[in-house]
Amino acid sequence: MADNTKLKTARMKAEQKIYELLDDLEGCKNGYNSGVYKKYFAALSDNEFNKFMDRLANEEWFNLFFEVKMNDKKKSPNMNHIKKVLDKYKIPMCEYVVSPYKNLDTENPPVSATPVPVMYAIVRPMQQLLSKKEAYSSDRDHVNLLTGQVTSSSKSSTFSNMQSIALTTSGQTDVLKELLGPRADDDVSKKRMLDQIADTGDFDINSIPVRSKDKQSLETVRCMMVAAGMRVSFGKDKVSYLLPTE
């Protein structure tokens, strides 16, 4: 009975410390994040709570979840606020950073000259973008006669939806515009790209207009949808029943 009482007391203290930490980070009492954990802990048995705390203590990548409301500047933690919380809990904000990947000599990896602030960000680069898609073909020797899409060894058209989303969410829209434009099935922008490279030796995707109606694959889809009796519009193009003639 005494052990059970000690367990209940220890659990209560642990929960309160977690709630206090989350409220300190959020900058208000009984904030959203502590409310989420109160609801979560209420559903855990003592055994489940012990397993949760054991993982929190021993697993490096098992951490508390904290949601930030980025569009509310008053509630979004800034560096000054974070430093106050770190000082309160006696957690160092800066540390020396070791970069072993910058030196082939694994025994003497480069180390930052001074301690620097360290922040962890969850980034999941797609394997295809790192290794398998490091080079794109710019030739158009293999083209589907029906859709105009480049195929086989020429295909940049195999660029998947997930890869498009990855580039879009990371702000690499210019790369996406080029891969799905002049280096895919857009003959008009491709000609302008090659002309600019021939004239200047360089190319800027934003210096030429890239229009949806110039993409053969989209025009093929438009034709099929119009034939099915649908009104069609891509991007800023006007809704029409017919393929553009220009």
**Domain extent listing, the chain:** 2-88, 139-227
pTM over 0.75: no
What pLDDT shows up at residue 42? 93
Neighbour count for residue 34 (Cβ, 10 Å): 23
> Which pair of tokens denotes residue 140?
């158009």
Angle among Cα 41, 45, 47 to the nearest 5 degrees reads: 115
d(CA 26, CA 28): 6
From 216, 213, 174, 208, select the one nearest 191 (Cα to Cα).
208
Angle among Cα 192, 183, 227 to the nearest 5 degrees reads: 95
Are 189 and 181 spatial neighbours (Cβ–Cβ below 8 Å)?
yes
Report which DSSP code applies to 208: S
d(CA 170, CA 164): 10
> How many residues are recorded in the chain?
246
From 46, 44, 42, select the one nearest 4 (Cα to Cα).
46
**Structure confidence by residue, pLDDT tens digits, 110-130:** 888 999 887 776 555 555 555
d(CA 36, CA 19): 10
d(CA 70, CA 68): 6
Pure H helices in 89-234: 127, 161-169, 173-179, 187-200, 216-227
pLDDT in tens, the chain (246 residues): 556 788 889 999 999 999 999 999 888 888 889 999 999 999 999 999 999 999 999 998 888 888 877 667 776 778 888 889 999 999 888 899 888 877 777 788 888 899 988 777 655 555 555 544 444 444 556 666 665 566 665 555 456 667 777 778 777 888 888 888 887 778 888 888 888 888 888 888 888 888 877 887 777 777 888 888 887 777 666 665 555 555
d(CA 14, CA 121): 26
From 159, 171, 162, select the one nearest 133 (Cα to Cα).
159
Neighbour count for residue 24 (Cβ, 10 Å): 19
Give kind and range of the element (H or E) at residue 116.
strand 116-117
